[in-house]
Amino acid sequence: MARLDKQTQDFDTTEVVNFVREIRSRSLSVREWKHYLAGYGYSVKDDDAGNTVVASLVHGDAICELPADLCA
């Protein structure tokens, strides 16, 4: 799982994307994928600019933008 640096509250975005990609590969549907991510404290949502991002459910902040292959 992606680590959160407790002092700076920064995420390693490469690690987050790799984790999200791994969970997606094990999921049978987009709905199941999002459900699994929620269990780990993440959500997939669209930001104000129309980009699909991974966000923290705890803080509500966008962590990183998802690559196009995960948005389809």
Q: Model's pTM, two decimal places?
A: 0.77
pLDDT category at 10 given cuts 50, 70, 90 is low
Does the pLDDT value for residue 56 go beyond 80?
yes
Q: What is the pLDDT of residue 72?
A: 67
SS (H, E, C) the chain: CCCEECCCCEECHHHHHHHHHHHHHHCCCHHHHHHHHHHCCEEEEECCCCCEEEEECCCCCEEEECCHHHHC
Q: What is the pLDDT of residue 6?
A: 40
Q: What is the pLDDT of residue 60?
A: 85
Per residue in 30-55, pLDDT (tens digit) is 999 999 999 999 999 998 888 999 99
